[in-house]
Amino acid sequence: MRRTNGPSQRRGGATRYHLGEALRDLNFRAAGAASMVCASVLLVGSASFAQQPADSGAPPVASPSSDGRALPAIVVETRGQRKASAQPRRKPSQVSRTARTRQVPNPNRAVVQARPVSAGALQASLPAAFPGEQVARGAGVGLLGNRDVMSTPFSLTSFTEKTIRDQQARTLTDVLGNDPSVRTNVPAYSGIQGFFIRGFPVFAQDIAFNGLYGVADSFNPALEPIERVEVQHGPSTMLSGMPPFGTIGGTINLIPKRATDVPLTRFTTGFISSGQSYNAVDVGRRYGQNGEWGVRFNGAYQSGNTPIDNQKQEYGVTALALDYRGERLRLGLDLGYQKVDFDSPLRNRSVLPGFPIPSAPDLRINQQQPWEYRNSDNKSAAVRAEYDLTDQLTVYAAYGHSEFHQVYFGGLPSIINARGDFRSTIQLTPFQTYSDTGEVGLRGQFETGAIKHRIGVAASGLWQDTGLTNIPVGSTITSNLYNPVYVAPRSDAGLPRTSPVTAQRFNRSVAIADTMSILNDRVELTIGGRWQGIDARTLSPTTGQVTSDARNDAFSPGAGLVIKPIERLSLYANYIEGLTSTAPPINAVNLDQSFPATVSKQIEAGAKYDFGVVGVTLAGFEIKQPSGFLDPTTRVFALNGEQRNRGVELNVFGQPLEGLRVVGGVSWIEGVLTKASNPALNGNTAVGVPAVQFNLYGEYDLPAFARGVTLTGRVIHTGSQFYDQANTQSIPAWTTLDLGLRYATRIDRTPVTIRANVQNVTGLNYWATTGRGILSPGAPRTYLVSASFDF
């Protein structure tokens, strides 16, 4: 494997907006080593902790009952409540053998755990899972906090850690393959994550970690430390602020794991085709008389050949989560280190105009050179505190810091004819981002006569320094999609592994929102807004001088209404805006150019019905956004008009029958160019927006004759898409099928779960997307097998 060993330090004389300079000297590698030591201590101490008496004072954990209903969640009592409910404490000798026996979590049952510190939580627990435990009943809604999905005037989905484990998801793309509103916009084996939500792009740099932008890995956030993947469809500037790139299709928020009240020691080992080994450990413990202190450690290592020719991947992650939950105070700290070394990663393609797009090649063929590589690492730290001033008022604060460093050596194929010939110019591209982010706020509730109020006030800031340099190496390579030409390795010796600062960003905002309810919460109106300021600079990589300086500010309002005419039915509508700082794709020649902020607008209305065991949501929306496009000839990205996406989304999730679980839905979208740079193109279909997207994942537990066996399957369908604004080049619709099997048993009283999945069972070769003027191949047939042991 090729490795980068250059220092991750910034160069150039640019001034940096920076809150936490002291963290620059923090030795994250030492923190990673400390994490491993902590894990060892946890493993050694697990037996003694497991012998703690059952009546030691730890609050009970809320777990779903056998009929799918959630039992009561963890409650942190006040002193008066504890005294009133206190019972005589038994001596250890009085505790039964059963009570002293170590508790082992059921691998097929999700545990509803404490959520100690969240910018969106007044309570100390995560929202309970819906029957089937694949999605949660609630999710974070920015400064509004955690809200019930059925009582929120926005479209939300929160995928659980159980879904991640049971589907053997290794990337966010695997998880979001359950959402019909989401599609990927990058190749599966590129080492990068990127999405379209409601037909608009969402970049990996815009993914939040526990409500903070700029903390997660800039290209491929790890899933091992994640408890929930929350997705809000549509703009959310009022609720969550403007992300670094200002994408408005939706918001993805990663909720980190916390130690549960049930001790956890889980080891997972597995195999991924064609020759990747995977090993992971997940250890969690709580300490203290009432379980106030929590420690959760996650570590994983994956290495070997992928299903793509000439491609190898080495991936490692360590994450340590510490938390404290008291009567009024809740604290949390997350430390993470992630490293990826990728040999011959796939890249997006561009297509010249004037000919039909060639059919997709065999997806196992690698058009990249065998000596190309992408190596990256990310170090992060995030802390969050929450304090209840009264039973009705909570204040909170959070701070995060990350250092991302990547070196890419390779080319971006540009297809030049219908035969599949392409050209690729090799470049060395060092890239790094240093981010500091913070948030402070309060939440409260009060009444004015018959009106109940739930208010949220927040102020946030994001400071980023980014360095990016493209260094051409050698002459252009000419090759073919179906019969690649591999040339002698190009040398990157002596070339820099870091880049001077070429861009700076300073986002800051102040927001307020109030949810007013009447008639026993049958009518709820949310109104609010956020003032957002954006300073974006680009700097010369050679002189360090500022070459552009865009300063913008705007007020982004939002409003939502929920009406519950009958029990279980919610009707809702919203108007919300998104503030966008448009960014060119990575293959644009003006990649470093700063564009002025633009305002996107969404109108949405829908209905949500809770059948008890199944939830159904229906939404209709319209989003208007100033559009950008990459010219395939000049590779210059420009804002040249407006795009309007109208659509209808239908989602279903839950457990309609005992042993049968489903999640998925269908999305119909009409993407139209309403204001194109060429007036003749007005009314054409927007690039990369399929008319229909369908996803359905299901699980079925076999009857008693095959107790413990679960069959799984998923179908994903995406309609045809245009590549160019003139609508002369397109890719066909595609449908993939995934199948799997899960077997839960015990070996010498140790719960074991064996999982086997096949993705793209039929081996379909297809182009996945054409969005943003780039062409991405799909994922080949892939085999995954794993075994998890809960000790």
The predicted-structure confidence for 213-226, as pLDDT tens digits, reads as follows 999 999 999 999 99
**Angstrom distance (rounded) from CA 208 to CA 700:** 33
The string of pLDDT tens digits covering residues 262-276 is 999 999 999 999 999
Contact of 170 with 221, CB cutoff 8 Å:
no
Task: Check if the beta carbon of residue 473 is closer than 8 Å to that of residue 494.
Answer: no
Q: Cα dihedral sign for 113, 118, 121, 123? A: positive
Cβ pair 682, 644 in contact under 8 A:
no
What is the pairing mode between strands 414-415 and 350-351? parallel
pLDDT of residue 582: 66
pTM of this structure: 0.84
Both structure tokens of 332: 């949390």
41-75 confidence digits (pLDDT tens): 344 343 333 333 333 333 333 333 333 333 333 33
Q: Kindly state the helix (H) or strand (E) to which residue 428 belongs, with its residue range.
A: strand 427-448
Q: What is the pLDDT of residue 334?
A: 98
Count how many residues are written for the chain: 791
**Is residue 666 very low, low, confident or very high in pLDDT (cuts 50, 70, 90)?**
very high
Q: pLDDT exceeding 70 applies to what percent of the chain?
A: 83
Greater pLDDT, 627 or 762: 762
The whole-angstrom distance between residue 522's C-alpha and the CA centroid of its chain comes to 32
Separation between Cα atoms, residue 270 and residue 278, nearest integer Å: 5
CA atoms within a 13 Å half-sphere pointing along the CA-CB vector of 619: 32
CA 530 from centre of chain? 23
Sign of CA dihedral 241, 244, 246, 247: negative
Find, among 755, 751, 770, 789, the residue nearest to 168 by Cα: 755
Query: What pLDDT does 633 receive?
Result: 78
Closest CA to 723 of 353, 422, 197: 353
Calculate mean pLDDT across residues 393-401. 98
Do residues 233 and 619 make contact, with C-beta atoms less than 8 angstroms apart? Answer: yes
Is the pLDDT at 676 greater than 60? The verdict is yes
Q: How far apart are the first and last CA of the chain?
A: 34
Question: What is the rounded average pLDDT of the residues 335-363?
Answer: 97
d(CA 661, CA 65): 16
Alpha-carbon gap, residue 721 to 724, rounded angstroms: 9
Report pLDDT for 588: 79
Tokens at 292, concatenated: 């106030």
Q: In the sheet where 250-256 sits, what is the strand order?
A: 155-160, 226-233, 250-256, 208-209
29 has pLDDT over 60: no
